[in-house]
Amino acid sequence: MTQTPATTAAVKVLPKHARVLIIGGGILGCSVAYHLGKLGWRDIVLLEQGQLTCGTTWHAAGLVGQLHGSHASTEFAKYTVELLNTIEAETGQDPGYRESGSISIATNPERLAELKRKADFASLFDIEAHYLSSEEIERHWPLVNPEGVLGGIFMPRDGSANPIDLTMALAKGARQHEAQLLEGVQVQQVLVEGTCAVGVVTDQGTITAEVVVNCGGMWARALGQQHNVGVPLHACEHYYLVTEPIDALPRDLPVLRSYCDGTYFKEDAGKLLFGFAHHHAKPWATTGIPEPFSFESLPFIEDDVMDVIEMAMKRVPLLEQVGIRTFFNGPESYSYDGQFTLGTAPDLSNYFMLAGLNSTGIQTGPGAGRALAEWIVNGYPALDLSGMDPARCEPFQARDRYLQARCPETLVRTYAMHWPNYQRETARNIRRSPFLP
């Protein structure tokens, strides 16, 4: 299903040279361009093969939560909320942020312990988080079925943003800093001399560059493969649904995450948007991403998600009585280990990457883009990003067979308990001892 036709019109004048050449006009590419400009760098060129946001960004549900699995990603998301509250004054573009707060609930004691521990973790970052009893949860979220709910945490400064408006605000800010963001230009090849990236070849000419940044979303891995740069991600099918308008829906409902069911709920202009961490997930485009792929969605296969839809209906029984307006399935990049790919290519200088944000690109993208921009400008990262280092990826971990088996497990485990030292179940027995049968 195509929503908006891709822009393929040729750009009239392509610059010959850029200080930094960014590939990809999703939220991540625009964030890197904006932050490089803010840090005072000029001659920034971003190339987008379709239109800004046309890959994955346009269809995100827009949830913005500040607590994440690592120090770095939590710093990123905390900064995103700061930016969401200030970028309109700077650029004139409203990012559509609604600071509704969020509530995460637990239905088993282990999860409750984890949520309480997360609330403590939040205090390390000066992020506000309060414990709520099940009675308080019902008061804040009157539509919830309280059966089995033991308690939860409330984070008043979380909320939701409009992914397109936020990306356009970053793009506008980047342009205010003189960056050129060009649509309808496809990068065909990254140019390399010796072991150094020196520019790109596009469908409309060549641009030399001092630094090349791969923010190509689910296309980033294929771009990396041209030079044996491992970008360990694969697109997976990711669903959500949006109801018909609901008269009784309070407009100030916080985002609700029911971790044990793997479901989330967001008030969306008088409708309820709900989605989930799937019980079963599928890799998408296993033989390559079809071209063109711009503002596209994927077939909604009810049987693939019926079990989680039922969980959602159980948690919010009103869903059994309302019609569904939108059944959405779109591709998102997941990595094999749930970590981002952020940093430099291990064996190719002046080649940076930011991709594979595991369905958190809207909430962490502004912060992740700032971190990469600081790294480019200063020559080193401003915080410990070692968990996201592209060098962690072994060659086999950037190949189809491994990623198509392992990345869907990352999606399935989105809301899973974070047991220490938990080992993945898929794609096992790849490296075997020669002494074993």
Ligand X SMILES: Cc1cc2nc3c(=O)[nH]c(=O)nc-3n(C[C@H](O)[C@H](O)[C@H](O)COP(=O)(O)OP(=O)(O)OC[C@H]3O[C@@H](n4cnc5c(N)ncnc54)[C@H](O)[C@@H]3O)c2cc1C
Q: Please give the residue ranges that form the binding site for ligand X (CB under 6 A).
A: 23-29, 47-50, 54-57, 59-63, 186-187, 215-217, 219, 223, 238, 240, 330, 332, 355, 357, 359-363
CB 56 within 8 A of CB 217: yes
Closest approach, Cβ 359 to ligand X, in A, equals 4
Q: Is 359 left (phi over 0), alpha (psi -120 to 50) or beta?
A: left
CB 18 within 8 A of CB 42: no
User: How many Å apart are CA 82 and CA 363, to the nearest integer?
Assistant: 11
103 vs 223, beta carbon nearer ligand X: 223
105 vs 112, beta carbon nearer ligand X: 105
24 vs 390, beta carbon nearer ligand X: 24
Closest approach, Cβ 364 to ligand X, in A, equals 7
150 vs 201, beta carbon nearer ligand X: 201
- How far are the Cα atoms of 175, 176, 436 from residue 91, in angstroms, in the given order? 10, 8, 62
266 vs 315, beta carbon nearer ligand X: 266
60 vs 305, beta carbon nearer ligand X: 60
Closest approach, Cβ 414 to ligand X, in A, equals 11
Exposure of 300 by Cβ count < 10 A (0-12 exposed, 13-18 middle, 19+ buried)?
A: middle
Closest approach, Cβ 356 to ligand X, in A, equals 8
Closest approach, Cβ 168 to ligand X, in A, equals 13
Closest approach, Cβ 131 to ligand X, in A, equals 24
User: How many Å apart are CA 165 and CA 171, to the nearest integer?
Assistant: 10
- How far are the Cα atoms of 207, 214, 295, 335 from residue 352, in angstroms, in the given order? 17, 6, 26, 17
Closest approach, Cβ 22 to ligand X, in A, equals 9
CA angle, 138 then 140 then 141, to 5°: 60
Tell me which residue of 145, 63, 61, 105 sits closest to 313, measured CA to CA. Answer: 145
The label of the residue with tokens 């140019």 reads: 191
298 vs 377, beta carbon nearer ligand X: 298
Closest approach, Cβ 341 to ligand X, in A, equals 10
Which amino acid makes up residue 251? R
149 vs 213, beta carbon nearer ligand X: 213
User: How many Å apart are CA 248 and CA 233, to the nearest integer?
Assistant: 41
* Paired strand residues for 331: 237
